[in-house]
A and B are shown apart, each in its own frame.
Chain A
Amino acid sequence: GAVVSQHPSRVICKSGTSVKIECRSLDFQATTMFWYRQFPKQSLMLMATSNEGSKATYEQGVEKDKFLINHASLTLSTLTVTSAHPEDSSFYICSAHAGGWVQYFGPGTRLLVL
């Protein structure tokens, strides 16, 4: 199947700093990527849809000024958690369609804000 990578896989930061997470489609082009977060023992929560060359579409309740999304190319979307706080600690996962119906997921990024 198609490969989606994320970087970093794990990050620890101080409260108030910003963290950037990269999502790359390695062997296909993705005009649309999706960002999810998952709290422990809970299901995937869609945060936003990232569209190449245009603004992201955020789900209700997700602060667009806090979770900045940039989809600058057909293979890269970035999620920046601005002024991170401990409650932002979570597992962030991106995914993309590879030309069909299947959504391929990245390996996830564990964020811990101290």
Chain B
Amino acid sequence: DQQVKQNSPSLSVQEGRISILNCDYTNSMFDYFLWYKKYPAEGPTFLISISSIKDKNEDGRFTVFLNKSAKHLSLHIVPSQPGDSAVYFCAARDPNSGNTPLVFGKGTRLSVIA
């Protein structure tokens, strides 16, 4: 049973427009959410995170929104740039899980078209 779901395997956006990547989760105990970006043949790099006590966190062109009642979070990238083309993974932390790893979604491939 997948606890973190990214239902869109891919997304194409024109350069300069907004990219919105979505993520849903099922475990209400998750207290911390993260977004990672991954280029081919490289390890994922941490992008931005949000605590469950907040509903928005912004860092430059990247903003993450959290809707706890809907168990939904989204990553907004604006304006989108060709260099943003990558696979984006949503991840969540269960505070009751000790030293176990984050729970990852399957990823969404973003293509920003020039």
Contacts and interface: CB of A to CB of B under 8 A. Distances in A.
Interface of A: 1, 4, 6, 31-32, 34, 42-44, 46, 49, 51, 91, 93, 95, 97, 101-108, 110
B69 interface: no
Question: Mostly helix, strand, loop or mixed at chain A's interface?
Answer: strand
Contact of A43 (B43, B45, B106): B106
B91 interface: yes
Closest 10 CB pairs of A and B: A105-B43, A43-B106, A32-B99, A101-B32, A34-B101, A108-B43, A105-B44, A107-B43, A93-B43, A43-B107
A31 B99 CA distance: 9
Contacts of B86: none
Contact of A97 (B89, B99, B105): B99
Interface of B: 32, 34, 36, 41-46, 49, 89, 91, 93, 99-102, 104-107
Given A44-B104, A102-B34, A110 B46 contact: no
Contact of B46 (A1, A44, A49, A106): A1
